[in-house]
């Protein structure tokens, strides 16, 4: 079973020490005997140790920067939410298809923001602007926030902040099972807790450093018992030898493990594997031994924003995926809502 994340090296921005969470984290890492370095700004975190790109990349993923979020303008996060709430960036996982490799290319380290009250104030302004409409915030656009939250508890505070709001909703997704500290959060049903799941083969081969399927599903059952609305993102759906059986076994395990209370308000989001040319280059640089199939010839080209198209599965393969996965969801979880297949 994978252990909760612990950084090997911590950078602290001086301004972070003006906030209670910044001070707490400094003390925590000092007590744990973890190496701490001061930095004037996160852009100066250039000296990640390592002799070559691969070593630096790996070391960056075990480096935590404790910083202050300066931009309090939130990005939009359509279609699943109106805004992305910035609590952290970066992730310790080694999923070979992770899109953070392209979006955060030069900064693969993890950064957590300690000015959470200011971030919540900004969220409140966004909610007020949209009243009487509801406003949804996504907390996992730029990191796997659950995976680092046992250290910071900022997600827990966000869950409780939205719990008390009138028209705010929170959602996030994770590949980690370290959820225990979130079970007693006063969420008031305003947070949808989602797990990213996949066929066992896909997790074992392409999602190194994340929780096993069984552990994720057991964590989901605990989350459901704690009364959270629950969701699953099956992504990326990846064609491999025995994929039909692999996905069927995944749904069977889900069916055996989830309590009955989880089933009335359950969502599924289905996302097929895709890649862009720039993503393929960066994957091959970060994971040169990857077995991930990235052959443009086998795929269908889909035009995308800014002229960067995606390579998705062929039309008939997409139909087969959709038909298979929908069938299992309808069989095991007839009450669940399939939000989309893309
Ligand atoms: Fe990326 Fe999520 Fe994997 Fe982290 S757990 S590396 S954010 S895909």
CA distance linking residue 329 with residue 255, whole number of Å = 10
Instruction: Look at residue 1 and tell me whether its pLDDT is greater than 90.
Output: yes
Dump pLDDT digits (tens) for 208-266: 999 999 999 999 999 999 999 999 999 999 999 999 999 999 999 999 999 999 998 99
Q: Could you write out the DSSP letters of every residue in 157-220?
A: HHHHHHHH-SSEEEEEEES----GGGTTS--TT-EEEEEEE--HHHHHHHEETS--HHHHHHHH
Q: Is 283 in the pocket of ligand 1 (CB under 6 A)?
A: no
Task: Please tell me the predicted confidence (pLDDT) of residue 147.
Answer: 98
The pTM assigned to this predicted structure is: 0.96
CA distance 180 to 223: 9
Give the closest residue (by CA) to ligand 1 atom 8.
Answer: 98
Number of DSSP helices (H) and strands (E) in the chain, helices first: 11, 16
> What CA–CA distance (Å, rounded) separates 333 from 266?
8
H/E element holding 53?
helix 53-60
Are the CB atoms for 192 and 171 separated by under 8 Å? yes
Judged against a pLDDT cut of 90, whether residue 40 lies above it is answered with no
Residue among 100, 140, 195, 202 to mutate when testing ligand 1 (max atoms within 8 A of CB) = 100
What average pLDDT does the segment 81-109 reach?
Answer: 94
Evaluate if residue 165 carries a pLDDT over 70.
Answer: yes
Average pLDDT, the chain: 96
Cis check for the bond before 203: say yes or no (omega within 30 of 0): no
pLDDT tens-digit map of 190-214: 999 999 999 999 999 999 999 999 9
User: pLDDT band at residue 43, thresholds of 50, 70 and 90?
Assistant: low
Q: State the Cα–Cα distance between residues 314 and 312, nearest whole angstrom.
A: 7
Closest CA to 173 of 271, 264, 250: 271
Residue 197 Cβ < 6 Å to ligand 1? no
208 C-alpha to center of ligand 1: Å? 9
Q: Determine whether the shortest distance from the Cβ of 98 to ligand 1 is under 6 A.
A: yes
- Predicted confidence (pLDDT) at residue 277 exceeds the cutoff of 80: yes
For each of the domains in the chain, give its residue range(s) and CATH number, in order of start.
73-88+117-341 (3.80.30.30)
- Evaluate: CB of 321 within 6 angstroms of ligand 1: no
């Amino acid at each position: 079973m994978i252990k909760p994340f612990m950084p090997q090296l911590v950078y602290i921005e001086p301004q972070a020490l003006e906030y209670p969470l910044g001070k707490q984290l400094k003390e925590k890492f000092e007590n744990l005997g973890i190496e701490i370095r001061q930095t004037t700004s996160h852009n100066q975190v250039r000296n990640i140790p390592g002799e070559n790109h691969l070593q630096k990349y790996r070391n960056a993923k075990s480096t935590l920067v404790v910083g202050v979020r300066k931009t309090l303008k939130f990005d939009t996060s359509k279609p699943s939410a109106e805004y992305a709430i910035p609590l952290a960036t970066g992730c310790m996982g080694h999923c070979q298809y992770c899109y953070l490799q392209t979006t955060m290319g030069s900064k693969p380290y993890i950064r957590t923001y300690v000015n959470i009250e200011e971030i919540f104030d900004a969220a409140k302004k966004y909610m007020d602007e949209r009243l009487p409409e509801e406003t949804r915030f996504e907390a996992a656009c730029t990191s796997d926030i659950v995976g680092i939250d046992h250290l910071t508890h900022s997600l827990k505070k966000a869950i409780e902040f939205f719990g008390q709001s009138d028209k705010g909703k929170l959602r996030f997704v994770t590949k980690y099972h370290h959820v225990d500290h979130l079970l007693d959060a006063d969420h008031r049903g305003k947070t949808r807790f989602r797990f990213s799941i996949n066929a066992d083969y896909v997790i074992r081969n392409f999602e190194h450093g994340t929780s096993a399927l069984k552990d994720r599903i057991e964590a989901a059952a605990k989350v459901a018992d704690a009364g959270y609305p629950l969701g699953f993102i099956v992504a990326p759906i990846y064609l491999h030898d025995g994929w039909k059986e692999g996905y069927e076994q995944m749904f069977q395990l889900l069916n055996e493990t989830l309590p009955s209370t989880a089933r009335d308000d359950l969502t599924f989001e289905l996302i097929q594997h895709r890649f862009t040319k720039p993503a393929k280059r960066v994957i091959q640089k970060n994971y040169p031994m990857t077995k991930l199939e990235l052959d443009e010839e086998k795929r269908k080209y889909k035009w995308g924003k800014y002229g960067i198209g995606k390579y998705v599965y062929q039309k008939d393969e997409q139909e087969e995926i959709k038909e298979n996965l929908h069938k299992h969801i309808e069989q095991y979880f007839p009450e669940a809502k399939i939000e989309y297949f893309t």
